[in-house]
Chains A and B, each alone.
Chain A
Amino acid sequence: MARELMKGNEAVAEAAVRAGLAAYFGYPITPQTESLEYLSRRMPELGRAFVQAESEVAAINMVYGAACTGQRVMTSSSGPGISLMQEGLSFIAGTELPMVLIDVQRGGPGLGNIAPSQADYNQIVKGGGHGDYHPIVLAPASVQESVDLTVLAFDLAEKYRSIVAVLSDGSIGQMMEPCELPPMQPLKTSFPDWAVSGAKGRERRFLTSINLNPAMQEEMNLRLMYRWQEVEANEVRYKEYYMDDAKFAVVGFGSTGRVALSAVRAARAEGIPVGLIRPITVSPFPSKVLEELSKQVEGMLVLEMNAGQMLEDVLIATHGQVPVEFYGRMGGVCVLPEEALREIKRLVKGPLTTTGHPRDRWLNRIAKKN
């Protein structure tokens, strides 16, 4: 199939349509709005459901209702809107419903700005709503990957009756790149045995997240956790670059992972034995991969557009076996390839340590305290 030049947000929207999206509910917020606009044209043209909701609170609850039918449903938003959706996301997790959430991250906290950021990592990955649940979180680094992961998101959501978030950012959402779109899938016509549709020729069904019996609620909690173990065992995805002979490893996800690759290539050109690990699933996190890696390399560098949120998962995975350094930009500022290369060289030069916290060293460094 031919490649087309598409804006990230529009490519994701069309990918969802082709993955069999039956209903979309959303609310305008920069830098995500083009998905909403695109689908406001595309969905009615195909006779599918589209509603511009009165708020993100309403949008996620429209998704909740539509998800109860077992159809493929999606919403998209950015930081402030994602915060408003946390109530609905917790209920959807508590009702064990599949849905796809696109988070095109922007600078925060608060209203922040509309520039790219990765500071929603904790909120999305750790499950920003109340209660114990884990969404599956996929982190694209290009328009093509956004397309591919959006399609995958629908399949995983159904397979595990789970929320699947595509954790993008303003740079990927707004950039135009050539991409190959997937073939058009028809809308689903058969639905799982939990979906509501009107009790025609069968017992009635109901879907709820309430269970006043704590012991039974705990059973539900356990079911979610066992299912999550299955996800952890089967769905970890990551990409590695130049790792075979690497003595140092950079870890970065999404667009920062892509920037890091440029820096790693530049470092290799200078003969520095460094590679890159780019988690595709930041949840489930490729912890075992990093644990193994911690035995191979002399030091790791974590790069993020936040204050070291994924860093914590790297530290847990490597549990002090290898020195880890951190470099981040915040507030909508991107890590540039030159900065990443400079940080790689700093890592290689040392000194390296496993004591103290990489975030403190980074903060002290940029405050010129050492």
Chain B
Amino acid sequence: MTINELDSMVYTRPDSLTDVSTHYCPGCTHGTAHRLIAEVIDEMGLKDRTIGVASVGCSVFAYNYFDTDFVQAPHGRAPAMATGVKRVYPDRMVFTYQGDGDLASIGMAEIVHAAARGENITVFFLNNTNYGMTGGQMAPTTLPGQVTTSSPNGRDVETQGYPIRTAEMLAKLDGASYVVRRSLHDPKNIRLAKKAIRTAIEVQMRGLGFSLVELLSICPTNWGKTPAEALQWLEEKMVAYYPIGDYKVHPAVAEIK
């Protein structure tokens, strides 16, 4: 490689991502989220001290894409599994990567109690308002009126209940130190998301307790939209229901920002 070629190389794959194509659909924001997390792991020099916990859903194969040690949890149980890993290795960086069906439905008990314990782990929570892997069923996060394969007439809150605002709910727990929501719909928000991911991991490495970053994400395939339309829908509909913001920043965390 010549000097000139090196000069022109401004964008490379993070070391913490493996050099393989993912199984994610074109336009899916999982790729963006993976990359941001991997960049932060690289920047913080944590690649050889990280143990990830994959969940069930589209991100079940996250362990194929992160070039770090990984384990894969039963549906919803990633925070419990991460607790087990972290309690044996308190000095490692242990993170879970979970979708909204996994975390906010079947895994609600595990996430609430991991947060309540102030478990010193980091959770990346991808909210795309549906069960992606199984083909787009209604999730706890599906918006009122949103059509999915199991709410074909649109989510009727009278019979199917209301969406759960996870970040706001977990922020109420004394054990949670850093709980924020960010979005992946445009470059500015992606940069802000990366900053939050960095802070969340800093919180853990400084032993400050439970951190969670909810990332508003798109599912063009199951939403029946092009990626561009999906990003627009996220910005217009999802951000209105799930406002971007910092819901819990413990004073000790505020100092490191």
Give the interface of A toward B (CB within 8 A).
22-23, 25, 49, 51, 53-55, 57-59, 61-69, 71, 73, 87-88, 91, 196-201, 204-210
Contacts and interface: CB of A to CB of B under 8 A. Distances in A.
B87 A62 contact: yes
Most buried by B among A73, A197, A206: A206
Number of contact residues on B: which range applies?
A: 35 or more
Given A54-B109, A55-B109, A200 B49 contact: yes
B164 interface: no
B51 A196 contact: yes
Contacts of A64: 71, 73-74, 77, 80-81, 84
B80 A62 contact: yes
A58 B109 contact: yes
Given A68-B85, A198-B51, A199-B48, A57 B109 contact: yes
Contact of B84 (A25, A57, A197, A199): A25
B83 interface: yes
Contacts of A71: 88
Contacts of B77: 57-58, 61, 64, 87-88
B52 to A, nearest CB: 8
B92 interface: yes
Most buried by A among B47, B48, B74, B84: B84
Interface stretch (B62-70, B154-162, B220-228): B62-70
B34 interface: no
Most buried by A among B47, B80, B109, B110: B80
* Top 10 closest pairs, chain A to chain B, by CB: A65-B84, A61-B80, A65-B81, A66-B84, A208-B72, A49-B87, A54-B113, A62-B84, A61-B77, A206-B70
B218 to A, nearest CB: 24
A70 B67 CA distance: 20
A44 to B, nearest CB: 11
B89 interface: yes
B49 A62 contact: no
Nearest to A66: B84
A240 B110 CA distance: 46
B89 A51 contact: no
23 contacts: A22-B88, A49-B87, A58-B83, A58-B109, A62-B80, A64-B74, A64-B84, A65-B71, A65-B86, A66-B87, A68-B81, A68-B84, A71-B88, A88-B74, A196-B69, A198-B68, A199-B47, A204-B69, A206-B69, A206-B70, A208-B54, A208-B71, A210-B60
A61 B83 CA distance: 9
A204 B67 contact: yes
B29 interface: no
